[in-house]
Amino acid sequence: MMKHAIAPLVPVLMATPLMAQDFEAAAQSYFDAEISEWATAQVLIDAVNAQNEMTASYSQADIDALDRAWRDEVGSSSTPTITPVLENVAASFLRERVTGSGAAITEIFVTDAQGLNVAASDLTSDYWQGDEAKHSETYGQGVNGFHISEIELDDSTQRYQAQVSFTLVDPSTGQAIGAVTVGVDAESLM
């Protein structure tokens, strides 16, 4: 009951620097305790490596065309670009993590080296994440890339969340291969 009363206040509370710092610390702790346990699961590594082989030579025009196709398919009955991202073994793995989080995680998606979606627990608003901080401040920074976004009302989940994003590293090579973004419900960490 109390969480529902706090929901309208989340944006106001997060406006203060101290609250933002507290949330970042809570998000980092949640990552360390809960997310890092499965963050490099082989199913994710395999899916990203397979897609990287396909997309490595894509031009920006190819990426833009795919992103437009994705956006056009949102809400449509025909989804040839979206379906492979939502209906694969890695996506099933991500949905299990969301379900098992007790509503703390709102969504998870994994991107390849180009920033294109590989697997997602739920539909994202676009296919290409490569032009956003969740990719540029993770994969773009190398193996130690880590980013916590500001708390916002997410269009796809309709919940106040922050996104905890990190570089996905192939443990067999030590190389950055993509990124993972985890939407974390702001109220669950406050």
Predicted pLDDT at 187:
83
Bridging pattern class, strands 105-111 and 117-120: antiparallel
In DSSP terms, 181 is beta-bridged to 109, 165
Predicted pLDDT at 20:
62
The mean pLDDT value of the chain amounts to 89
Distance of CA 58 to the CA centre of its chain: 22
Assess whether pLDDT exceeds 60 at residue 65: yes
pTM to 2 decimals? 0.87
Predicted pLDDT at 22:
78
Contact 94, 121 (CB under 8 A): yes
Predicted pLDDT at 153:
84
DSSP structure class, residue 76? -
Structural domains of the chain in order of their starting residue, each with its CATH number: 2-189 (3.30.450.20)
Residues 8, 117: Cα–Cα separation, whole Å: 31
Three-class SS state of 38? coil
pLDDT band at 26 (very low <50, low <70, confident <90, very high): confident
Q: How far is CA 46 from CA 90, 107, 183, in A?
A: 9, 20, 22
Assess whether pLDDT exceeds 70 at residue 60: yes
pLDDT in tens, 123-158: 999 999 999 999 999 999 999 999 999 888 877 667
Beta-sheet strands, E only, within 21-159: 105-111, 117-120, 146-148, 152-153
Q: Which two tokens stand for residue 17?
A: 């620097």
pLDDT in tens, 68-113: 999 999 999 999 999 999 999 999 999 999 999 998 999 999 999 9
Q: Which residue would you say has higher pLDDT here, 45 or 4?
A: 45
